[in-house]
Structure 1
């Protein structure tokens, strides 16, 4: 029985009408921290191109800061990214100090470094836990959040507040290190390290987690410098 001749595969591909779809994801809600928008170009379910629009959303902070003093602007910086409020405090105060050509005392500089590092660890724990949760891994998320709460305990020991700290001041910090902070830190840090180890063991030995994330979202050295990415 004779069969009809089949057209070459390249003819089939040429005659098939397809078009890419542009999908806007975001921007995220103003109440969230780290505003971001993704413009995704799709071929079916395959991402062909991705334009990441990072981070600016007007919530009236600038206008409020314009109508007050420099000191009155500091609490607003707490709310730029609540998971690392200290670092936002430091960035603003250092900018003002540079304009005024102020030199902060060495002890204040070290206290800023200490506060900033606690804040940075807290931020990373939040984001690493959330990354696991996005892959439906609840257990490492809980490890990360429990460790983050302990870093908040450290922050509270240092400045009296857990999240919106308002600790950094133009020319220094709000107050010196409390006397009970060193002993409190010696008690909390081993617990934080244990939880970080538990988190790492759960995710780095999970084949599904590693396969889904390894090589994904790699940031070049140039982009790290351009966007001031640290950690």
Structure 2
């Protein structure tokens, strides 16, 4: 598949993930009487990855996440030369999705994007549960590590074929169930960057953590999985 088609798939897939996941948080999580709550938001993120991977994974690999791209490259499952263009496509998809979501949300009378928090990731005073920077750093790195382990294991040639998107989608659902109270859940720098660019202020100031921790966790998984999975 030509690189341009792979990049288009990554842009569309990341758009779907950010629009579906953060859209559920911004539009539906707290809707009076019908709010889906954070469990519903967790499921929405998992479903976007599951459906996106089935729809587009055979074209681009279905990364939709800079940390996934870097982790797969670390594990020698992805060419290093394609890291930068993949991340650029993912960021573009995330920003477009956030722009579309902002337009839709602004159609409700009285909607205040800044006051809403726009599903941005944060720590300290901007953590849903007021968790510290240290707690946010640890949970984002640990959960990204396990997310990459699931991805690497589920897509291993020895794993059952055709089921990887289900395992990956369920893993992302579980990750959100654990960490929404801590950071609003990132494990994906593109997902964090899109809303932060529109919210500005504190979200941009804290964005560094939601790049650093997921990338560190992904690289660690990219080193550990080949070590434990390699045949004697």
TM over 0.5: no
More strand by share: 1
**Would you tell me which structure has more helix in proportion to its own residues?**
2
Q: TM-score, normalised by structure 1?
A: 0.26
Higher relative contact order (CA 8 A, sep 6+): 2
User: What's the TM-score once normalised by structure 2's chain length?
Assistant: 0.26
